[in-house]
Amino acid sequence: MAVDQATVRHIAHLARIAVSDGEIAGLQHELNAILSFVEELNEVDVSGIEPMTSVTPMRMKLRPDVVTDGGMTDAILANAPATEDHFFLVPKVVE
């Protein structure tokens, strides 16, 4: 897959990055180099290799998936400039 100049401009627009016309060719070359390296990685045979979460062997720390209120209401509201009845008090923005 090759990236053309229109695609580079589109990517820059999506990323909200200002790119001058002089930079387009360099970015096009860099993106094409990255994509060719990814294609090279796709050719590596990884069958029989177990996925890793880290380079050091460790088990994932699992916790029960339980919904709570956090139990920190007072600590959180202590940071608010204004509160009322355990809620944040904010200025009215809609008439």
Question: 40 — phi, psi (to 5°)?
Answer: -65, -40
Amino acid at 24: I
Q: What is the mean pLDDT of each run of 10 residues along the chain (95 residues)?
A: 91 95 94 94 89 78 85 89 91 85
CA 59 from chain centre, in angstroms, equals 24
pTM: 0.51
Both structure tokens of 57: 């062997």
**Residue with the two structure tokens 């509160």:** 83
Check residue 89 and give its pLDDT. 92
